[in-house]
């Protein structure tokens, strides 16, 4: 189950996000959809990076019946990425949701041996989504 707190005028494809979440976990997930200004503030406070970003994941301690964690997604950032990569906003939000959810589930592309990249690739193929975030980021390096 997911709970969406929407601070924007964007109406997400809730059915797609629920389907993705149910495919990966039966744990509750909180999702906040926000703008770049709020994301920048959260990123500065939590990571010491004074810039907006696309998605942040905040896993919670594994306690029975507690949520898996919270995802914060900048819809404004996603709109820019969707335009840049010629994706729909719904697809871009789904990619960010998958990426963040994999982090909540313990994957970390910065330290693993490609497991997160492979899992992300498998999921985007399964759900018919465009190129993954990790692949796009690697292409920019």
Q: Classify the C-alpha dihedral 47-72-83-120 as positive or negative.
A: positive
How sure is the predictor about 141, in pLDDT bands with cuts at 50, 70 and 90?
A: very low
pLDDT above 90 for 119: yes
Burial class (CB in 10 A: 0-12, 13-18, 19+), 118: middle
Topology at the third CATH level for domain 2-140: Collagenase (Catalytic Domain) (3.40.390)
Structure pTM? 0.92
Which stretches within the chain are classed as H helix? 14-24, 36-47, 75-85, 89-104, 115-126, 133-140
Q: What residue segments make up the domains of the chain, in order of their start?
A: 2-140
Q: Is 103 annotated as a binding residue?
A: yes
3-state SS assignment for residue 4: strand
Q: Is 28 annotated as a binding residue?
A: no
Distance CA 26, CA 45 (A): 30
pLDDT above 70 for 137: no
Q: Is 126 annotated as a binding residue?
A: no
Q: Which of 59, 64, 4, 58 is nearest to 34 (CA)?
A: 4
How sure is the predictor about 136, in pLDDT bands with cuts at 50, 70 and 90?
A: low
| φ, ψ (nearest 5 deg) of residue 32 | -110, 125
């Amino acid at each position: 189950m997911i709970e969406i707190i929407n601070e924007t005028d964007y109406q997400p494809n809730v059915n797609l996000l629920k389907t993705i979440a149910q495919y990966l976990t039966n744990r509750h997930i909180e999702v906040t959809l926000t703008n770049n200004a709020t994301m920048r503030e959260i990123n500065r406070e939590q990571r010491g990076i004074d810039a907006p970003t696309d998605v942040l994941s905040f896993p919670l301690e594994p306690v029975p019946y507690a949520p898996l964690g919270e995802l914060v997604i900048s819809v404004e950032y996603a709109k820019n990425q969707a335009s840049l990569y010629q994706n729909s906003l719904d697809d871009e939000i789904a990619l960010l949701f998958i990426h963040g959810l994999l982090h909540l589930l313990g994957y970390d592309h910065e330290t693993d041996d490609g497991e997160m990249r492979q899992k992300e690739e498998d999921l985007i193929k399964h759900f018919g989504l465009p190129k993954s975030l990790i692949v796009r980021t690697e292409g920019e390096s």
